[in-house]
Structure 1
Amino acid sequence: MSAKEDLEKALDGLRRGFQADGADLKVESATESQLTLRLVGDDRTCWECIIPPDRLRELIGSVLRDSVPSIETIDLIDPRAES
């Protein structure tokens, strides 16, 4: 499996949990070693149901680095941290 396929598989696993709360993870940019994700939702999203931004970054980083070891940097754009 390629790194891109590994990444998509790992993201699909993460997305299921977010989608249950009305949110999703979108890839903003990706290189072999860097990934930027955006947490997206709307007025139906249960933002309180999603773990806090700092813990979320740790979880996503852990899952994705296990699946795609070449990723060195993962940035998460979380609208809850911006407000």
Structure 2
Amino acid sequence: MNIKQARAAMSHPAFCGLSRQHLGELIEELAPRWDARCESVRRERRQGARRRQAGAGPKYELVFTDRVLAILVHLRTGLSHEPA
């Protein structure tokens, strides 16, 4: 299963508890705030302005949309990260 198939399955209302329209609206509303918070944390850690161009450095394994879906599915189903 690739990431697109997993995202489509997890975004089903049975798993995340929201319609796809509401999920899209939630992500649109939260994404700028999350980006601003992450940049603020990075700025504090660097103690100043960025030293490299935007986009340089390590990448997240899960993009913001996938993180939101994982949290919603976890809250709705109560599944843990631990193997059975």
TM over 0.5: no
Larger helix percent: 2
Rg bigger for which structure?
Answer: 2
Which one scores higher on RCO, CA 8 angstroms, separation ≥ 6? 2
TM normalised by structure 1 equals 0.28
Larger strand percent: 1
